[in-house]
Amino acid sequence: MHIEVVGSGPALVLIHGWALHGGVFAPLVERLSTQFQLHLVDLPGHGNSRDDATPLRLPFVVSAIAAATPPAVWCGWSLGGLFALHAAATLPKVRGLAMIAATPRFVRGEDWPYAVETSVFEQFGQDLAQDYRGTLERFLALDAMGSEHARQELRTLRAALVERGEPAPRALQEGLRLLENTDLRGALPGLATPSLWLAGQRDRLVSARAMQAAAALAPRSSMHVVAHGGHAPFLGHTDEVAAQLQHFVASLS
């Protein structure tokens, strides 16, 4: 698995969302690399890890990342949040957890109303086989939709998608199944590490209300809503997100 290391200081592991790679965090790297040692993960089947055959499942991926990184704060965006949360719940070497536009459960249920319908991920899975590039384009549009900087963010996401080659179809299907089937809410009440929950108020995929509900289940949690942010608030509101991460890491020491 490819993990790029940039900067010096306290270690911060950054895990990207569906179909992207660690390069999508470039704006945060620019702001944070003088203060942190950043470990930018390319998940199996994505970016420079496209040929990595590790199954895109929580225990396998988390173990591989943990073996290659020092004790650190783990930060996950969207799908990446599931890996970061699983690590925080199972590994003592995780010093803190930061969730960006991510929750322990991405689909709606009777007791979890602030999420998307299961059919959303099912449809993306079906569409991939028929129109691979068009399906990725529609998903990126959802990432940017709602943000006050939507056009700029969409351009950035499109460029990032092809920067390191297209993701492997196998990994995309496995990622959709993770988003559709994973429910880590049960891990939150016993979470030993502090957590930070960063939401975009205009996010069309992960509701800020869902993130607030998740944060309420975790002890030692804090919540911040980016007022005009979408699903990728670290792109259009980089300074605000970077400041929140800086404050959170500083509070741990």
Q: What's the pLDDT band for 16 if we cut at 50, 70, 90?
A: very high
Q: Which residue has the higher pLDDT, 130 or 102?
A: 102
In this predicted structure, what is the pLDDT of residue 46?
96
- For the cut 90, the answer to whether the pLDDT of residue 179 exceeds it is yes
pTM of the model: 0.96
In this predicted structure, what is the pLDDT of residue 99?
98
Active site residue 51: no
- For the cut 80, the answer to whether the pLDDT of residue 215 exceeds it is yes
- For the cut 80, the answer to whether the pLDDT of residue 253 exceeds it is no
In this predicted structure, what is the pLDDT of residue 39?
98
Catalytic residue, chosen from 78, 147, 207, 221, is 78
* Domains observed in the chain: 3-252 (3.40.50.1820)
Active site residue 78: yes
Q: How far is CA 252 from CA 36, 97, 138, 225, in A?
A: 14, 11, 38, 20
- For the cut 90, the answer to whether the pLDDT of residue 145 exceeds it is no
Token couple for 84: 């970061």
Burial of 246 (0-12, 13-18, 19+ CB in 10 A): middle
Catalytic residue, chosen from 52, 203, 224, 237, is 203
Active site residue 21: no
Q: What is the pLDDT of residues 80-116, one digit of tens each?
A: 999 999 999 999 999 999 999 999 999 999 999 999 9
Catalytic residue, chosen from 39, 46, 231, 237, is 231
Alpha-helical segments (H) within the chain: 26-32, 58-68, 79-90, 118-130, 132-144, 150-163, 169-181, 208-217, 233-236, 238-252
